[in-house]
Amino acid sequence: MEPNFTEIAAKWQKKWTDQEVYKVSHKSDKPKYYVLDMFPYPSGAGLHVGHPLGYIASDIVSRYKRLKGFNVLHPMGFDAFGLPAEQYAIQTGRHPADTTRENIARYKEQMNNIGFCYDWSREVITSDPSYHKWTQWVFLKLFGSWFNLESNKAEDISSLENKFRAEGSASVKGACSEHSPFTAEQWQGMSEKEQRDILMKYRLAYQDYATVNWCEALGTVLANDEVKDGLSERGGHPVEKRQMRQWFLRITAYAERLLGDLDTLDWTDSMKEMQRNWIGKSEGASLRFDLTPSPSPQERGEGSSTGVGNSDLTPGPSPQERGEGFVAGFSPQERGEGSVAGFSPQERGDTFGFIEDSNAEYHLTSPNLFKVLIPRAKMMRSNMTPAEKLLWEELRSSKTDFKFRRQHIISEFIVDFVCLSKMLVVEVDGSIHDQTAEYDEGRTEELNKLGFKVIRFQNSEVESNLKGVIERIVESCNSRPTSIISKDNLGIVKDSEEEYSISLLLPEGRAGVGATQPNEYIEVFTTRPDTIFGVSFLTLAPEHELVARITTPEQKSEVEAYVQVAKNRSERERMSEVKRISGVFTGAYAIHPFSGEKIPVWVGDYVLAGYGTGAVMAVPCGDQRDWDFAKHFGLPIPEINEGVDISEAADPTKEAKMINSDFLNGLTGYEAIGKAIEAIEATGFGKGKVNFRLRDAGFSRQRYWGEPFPIVYKDGVAYPLEESELPLELPVMEDFRPTGKPESPLAKASDWVNVDGALRETDTMPGYAGSSWYFLRYMDARNEESFVGKEAEGYWQDVDLYIGGTEHAVGHLLYARFWQKFLFDKGLVSKPEPFRKLINQGMILGRSNFVYRVAGSNSYISKDMLASRPNLSGFTDLR
C-alpha cells in the first residue's frame, strides 16, 4: 500500500493545531530559545519555492531545540504596510486592507501546508491597529527623548528642558541638528513655540527639511527606487527634487554604539562588514576655511585680501531673529565706544578667540591684544598686592568649588580674577582704583557687555574679612548659570559644529549688543589632514547652503544654471559617471588656514551634499576626482610628495616624504596626519574629528498605506497625542490616490485631519517602522497594556537565531538594532542587541539563468536557444 504523504501531512497539521502543540508560554522552568524568521511582505503572488528555504531551516532548528528540552519561541507574522499594496489597490480599485487580508490568508495556508511549528497565537500583522498602536507608541517615546552625549544614551526630553531652564544650553551635550547657545534666562523668556522649535532639534524623532522626489506629471512624491535617471519609473516623467519638511529618526546618535556592539554578535563577517561600511566611520579632521570678504562693488577687482576678517557677505538673520542672542567674532568697530584703554581698532585686531598662553590658560581676546597684554599680565602676576595674594591663596587650586584664574586677559583688559565657567570677574581695588572710578565704570560696562558679572572688593575688606569676601564670591558664582566658557568646557566650544569662532553668552536683555555676523566659512571634513598644503581649491556640492550666498554677481547665472541641472541627477549617476567632469566657479575665495593664500571656491556635483559637510578641500595630487577636476578646469596641482609622479594621475600615497608643506616637510603622510591635526587644533581652525557615513533615517512617506503619525499641529507646532488616544487609525478613504500636490493622500481626509482646532500630520511612517520592533511583540503579542510585558520580555529577552535574506543587511537590521538600543536606554527591554545569531539563507535561482550542455558535446547553449532547437537535447550538469 502506497502511503499518501499529502494526506498524512494534512492529518497531523490538524491535530497539532487542534491540540495547540506549538503554543508556548514564558511561564516555564525550561531554558528559552527564540528562533525567528524575517517575516514576509504578503504580496499577491503567494509563496515561491525560494521563500520556504529559510523557514524550513528555522523550523528544523526550532523542532530540534524543543526535542533538546528548550522552551522554543517560533512565531510568524506579516509586514503588511507598504507601497506595493497601495499601488495594487490603486490599480484594482480595491482597498489595501482587503487585499492585504486576503494575501495573508493565502500565505498562512501555504505555510501551514509545509507544517511549520509556529505559535500562531502570537501572530503579528504590522498594519493591524492593535499592533501599530505600539509602533506609534514607540514613535512617541522617540519623539519624547533626546540623546545625551555625556551619558551616551537616550534620556527623557524633560531632562533636557530642565537643563535649559536651569543652565541654558551651554552645559548641554546632546546629539542635535543644530546647537544654539542661550542662557537659562533667555530660555525662560522664550515663547512655547520657540522652546519647542529648539527641543525639536534634539528629539530622537524630529522634523527637518529634506529633499523628496516630486513628480509633477504623476502628482506624487516618489520613493528613491521609483526614480530612474531623473525620470519616474512609471511613465518616464521628469522628477524634480524638492525640499519638504520630513520626519527623521536620529540614528546617527547611536552610530558609535551600533558599530562597537557588532563585535558582540555572532554574525558572519561579511554581514558585519556591510553594516560597518554603512555606518562608515572615518577619522580625520574637520577644518574651517574662512572666506575672503566679498568686495563692495566699488572695490571689486582690487583684490582685497584682509585675512580672517569679519566678512559680511550677505546679511543673514540677526541674532535676535535667530533666537540666539550671542556675539561671535565681534569687531571692535561695531562694539563702538568703551574703548577706554585706548587701543585703536588696528591694535585690537579683528577677531576674538581663546588664546592659550604658556600656562595653558585660555584668554578671550584678539591675537594682537594678546601679544600686547600678556607681558603685562605676567608682570602683574609676579607683583600682586598683599590683598590680591591673600585672595588668590583662597581662590586658587579650586579651594572653592570654582576654578579661578588670576591676571587674566579678557578683551582689552587684564582682570584680577575670573571664574570663566560662571563668567564672574572679581576685582580687588586699592588706592589706584579710587582715583579711576570713571575708568572702572567703563571697564565694568564693557565686561558686562561681554556677559561677565563684575564684583569689586576693597583691599581693606579682603584683609579684614577674607572669609566674608569668599562667601560673597561663592554666592555670586552659585547665582550664575554655568556658561560655555570654562577650561573644562572649552572642548565644547571648540566641538560645537557651527561655531569655531568663540561665542560669548550675554545676559538677558543684552542680546545682540555690539553683535555682528559671524564670519562666513566653509567647513570641510578630511581623512587626510596631512595633505592640507596640497589644497588648491574647494568644491561645494550643488546643494550646499553657501552656494547661493557666496556666489558673486558675475557668476550668479552660470552657477544657478549648473545647480539646477545637478539637482535632478541622482546621487548614483553623480558618483558613477566619473568621466563626466562638470563644475562651475562661484567667484568666491577662501583663505588657506596656514599659508593664508586665496583658494578659489567651486561647485561640482562629484561632491555629495549628504556626505561629510557637503564640501571638500580639493587635493588634486592625492585624489583622482580632484585631479580630474583640476586638469579639466586648469586649476593648479601642487606637489606635496617627494618623488611621486602626478603628471598622469593622482597618487594618494601616505608613504612618501612631504614637500612644500611647511611644518610637515620631511614627514611621511602617516606621520604628518597627527601633526597636522595638532596644528589645526592649535590654530583654532578645526579639530580632529570622527565622521560617519550614516545619515539620520528619513521617516516620512507621502503615502496612504502606512502608520499615521500620532502628531497634531497647533499653530505649526508639533504636539504628540496622548497614549490613551492610540491607536490612531487610518481614515477610511474611498480615494487615496495622490493629491496632485506634494503632500500625502491623507491630506484629502479633511474630517480626519481637523481635530479641535489642530491639524493632524498627514505623512505616514515608512515600511521599516513596523519591522523595527516586531520581534519584541511576538514575546507578548496579545498584551493590551504594554508593547511587551516586562515578565515576558525578561524571559525571552532576545532572538537566539534569526534567519533571513541578505537584502536586509543594512536597512532593517540596522533600524531594528537602533530601536532595541533606544528601548534598552529607556529601560524597556533587557538586552542592548536584538539578534544574537544571524544566518542569511542563499537564494534559490530560477532555471532560466543557466546554460545547458548540449548532449554528447562540450558546447553550451542558453535555455532559450535550446527551446528553439527541438532536435538538440541539453543538460545542466548541476545536481
Partner 1 sequence: MSKSKFNVVNPDDIIAHFGADTLRMYEMFLGPLEQSKPWNTNGIEGVYRFLKKLWNLFLDDQGNLKVQEAKPTESELRTLHKTIKKVAEDIERFSFNTSVSTFMICVNELSEQKCRNREILRNLLIILSPYAPHIAEELWSALGEDGFVVNAKFPDWNDDFIKESSISYPVAFNGKTRFNITVSADMPKEEVESLALSHEEAEKWLNGGSPKKVIVVPGRMVNIVI
Q: Does 61 bind partner 1 (CB under 8 A)?
A: yes
Nearer to partner 1, 661 or 840 (CB): 840
How far apart are CB 614 and partner 1 at their closest, in Å? Answer: 38
Q: Does 114 bind partner 1 (CB under 8 A)?
A: yes
How far apart are alpha carbons 542 and 616 in whole angstroms? 12
How far apart are alpha carbons 350 and 328 in whole angstroms? 11
Q: Does 117 bind partner 1 (CB under 8 A)?
A: yes
Q: Does 879 bind partner 1 (CB under 8 A)?
A: yes
How far apart are alpha carbons 182 and 264 in whole angstroms? 41
Q: In what order do the strands lie in the sheet with 801-804?
A: 71-73, 32-37, 801-804, 838-840
Only one of the segments 54-62, 348-356, 380-388, 577-585 lies at the binding site for partner 1 (rule: CB under 8 A); that segment is 54-62
Nearer to partner 1, 2 or 321 (CB): 2
How far apart are CB 772 and partner 1 at their closest, in Å? Answer: 25
Q: Does 850 bind partner 1 (CB under 8 A)?
A: yes
Ranges within 5-24 binding partner 1 (CB under 8 A): 5-6, 8-9, 11-13, 15-16, 19, 21
Q: Does 28 bind partner 1 (CB under 8 A)?
A: no
How far apart are CB 713 and partner 1 at their closest, in Å? Answer: 48
How far apart are CB 100 and partner 1 at their closest, in Å? Answer: 20
CA torsion 742-743-745-750 (nearest 10°) is: -130
Give the 3-state secondary structure of residue 820.
helix
CA distances from 142 to 31, 137, 255, 778 (A): 33, 9, 16, 21
Q: Does 71 bind partner 1 (CB under 8 A)?
A: no
Residue 318: all three cell numbers together: 540677526
Ranges within 374-433 binding partner 1 (CB under 8 A): none
Binding mask 797-836 for partner 1 (x = CB under 8 A): ----------------------------------------
How far apart are alpha carbons 692 and 611 in whole angstroms? 8
**Of these, 3, 235, 643, 757, which contacts partner 1 (CB under 8 A)?**
3
Whose CA is closest to 578, among 509, 505, 631, 506? 631
Q: Does 690 bind partner 1 (CB under 8 A)?
A: no
Nearer to partner 1, 6 or 724 (CB): 6
Q: In what order do the strands lie in the sheet with 424-429?
A: 353-356, 362-365, 405-410, 413-419, 424-429, 453-458
Q: Does 846 bind partner 1 (CB under 8 A)?
A: yes
Q: Does 64 bind partner 1 (CB under 8 A)?
A: yes
Nearer to partner 1, 199 or 803 (CB): 803
Nearer to partner 1, 115 or 129 (CB): 115
Nearer to partner 1, 855 or 878 (CB): 878
Q: Does 57 bind partner 1 (CB under 8 A)?
A: yes
Count of other CB atoms within 10 angstroms of residue 827: 8
How far apart are CB 106 and partner 1 at their closest, in Å? Answer: 10
Give the 3-state secondary structure of residue 783.
coil
CA-based torsion, 825, 828, 831, 835: positive or negative: negative
- The count of residues interacting with partner 1 (CB under 8 A) is 56
Nearer to partner 1, 115 or 338 (CB): 115
Q: Does 49 bind partner 1 (CB under 8 A)?
A: yes
Q: Does 757 bind partner 1 (CB under 8 A)?
A: no
Cβ-proximal residues to 179 (8 Å cutoff; 6+ apart), any chain: 169, 201, 496, 497, 498
Q: Cis check for the bond before 481: say yes or no (omega within 30 of 0).
A: no
Residue 25: all three cell numbers together: 508560554
Only one of the segments 42-50, 80-88, 582-590, 779-787 lies at the binding site for partner 1 (rule: CB under 8 A); that segment is 42-50
Nearer to partner 1, 45 or 360 (CB): 45
Q: Does 30 bind partner 1 (CB under 8 A)?
A: no
**Residue 692: its H or E element:** strand 686-692
Only one of the segments 3-11, 206-214, 274-282, 491-499 lies at the binding site for partner 1 (rule: CB under 8 A); that segment is 3-11
**Residue 100: its H or E element:** helix 96-114
How far apart are alpha carbons 738 and 702 in whole angstroms? 8
CA-based torsion, 727, 732, 738, 741: positive or negative: negative
Which ranges constitute the DSSP H helices of 226-366? Answer: 255-260, 269-279, 319-322, 332-335, 345-348
Only one of the segments 106-114, 210-218, 293-301, 725-733 lies at the binding site for partner 1 (rule: CB under 8 A); that segment is 106-114
* Strand pairing category for 686-692 and 231-232: unpaired
How far apart are CB 821 and partner 1 at their closest, in Å? Answer: 27
CA distances from 36 to 56, 63, 68, 106 (A): 11, 13, 18, 21
Q: Does 547 bind partner 1 (CB under 8 A)?
A: no
Residue matched to cell numbers 564670519 = 519
How far apart are CB 64 and partner 1 at their closest, in Å? Answer: 5
Nearer to partner 1, 360 or 845 (CB): 845
Which ranges constitute the DSSP H helices of 489-570? Answer: 490-495, 546-550, 556-567
**Of these, 382, 645, 751, 845, which contacts partner 1 (CB under 8 A)?**
845
How far apart are alpha carbons 81 and 85 in whole angstroms? 7
Q: Does 56 bind partner 1 (CB under 8 A)?
A: yes
Residue type, 715: D
How far apart are CB 266 and partner 1 at their closest, in Å? Answer: 11
How far apart are CB 57 and partner 1 at their closest, in Å? Answer: 5
Q: Does 876 bind partner 1 (CB under 8 A)?
A: yes
Nearer to partner 1, 303 or 846 (CB): 846
The answer to whether 326 touches 506, Cβ cutoff 8 Å, is yes
Count of other CB atoms within 10 angstroms of residue 434: 10
Residue 544: all three cell numbers together: 550646499
CA torsion 91-94-98-101 (nearest 10°) is: -20
Nearer to partner 1, 66 or 201 (CB): 66
Q: Does 650 bind partner 1 (CB under 8 A)?
A: no
Only one of the segments 34-42, 56-64, 570-578, 619-627 lies at the binding site for partner 1 (rule: CB under 8 A); that segment is 56-64
Nearer to partner 1, 46 or 716 (CB): 46
Q: Does 340 bind partner 1 (CB under 8 A)?
A: no
Q: Does 27 bind partner 1 (CB under 8 A)?
A: no
Binding mask 240-279 for partner 1 (x = CB under 8 A): ----------------------------x-----------
Nearer to partner 1, 513 or 839 (CB): 839
Q: Does 849 bind partner 1 (CB under 8 A)?
A: yes
The answer to whether 250 touches 175, Cβ cutoff 8 Å, is yes
Nearer to partner 1, 48 or 399 (CB): 48
How far apart are alpha carbons 879 and 161 in whole angstroms? 66
Q: What burial class does residue 476 get, using C-beta atoms within 10 Å of its C-beta: 0-12 exposed, 13-18 middle, 19+ buried?
A: middle
How far apart are CB 704 and partner 1 at their closest, in Å? Answer: 31
Q: Is 356 left (phi over 0), alpha (psi -120 to 50) or beta?
A: beta
Nearer to partner 1, 18 or 734 (CB): 18
Q: Does 548 bind partner 1 (CB under 8 A)?
A: no
Q: Does 458 bind partner 1 (CB under 8 A)?
A: no
**Of these, 842, 859, 868, 873, which contacts partner 1 (CB under 8 A)?**
842
Instruction: Kindly list the residues in this chain that would bind partner 1 in the complex (CB under 8 A).
Output: 1-6, 8-9, 11-13, 15-16, 19, 21, 46-54, 56-57, 59-64, 66-69, 110, 113-115, 117, 268, 839-847, 849-850, 876, 878-879
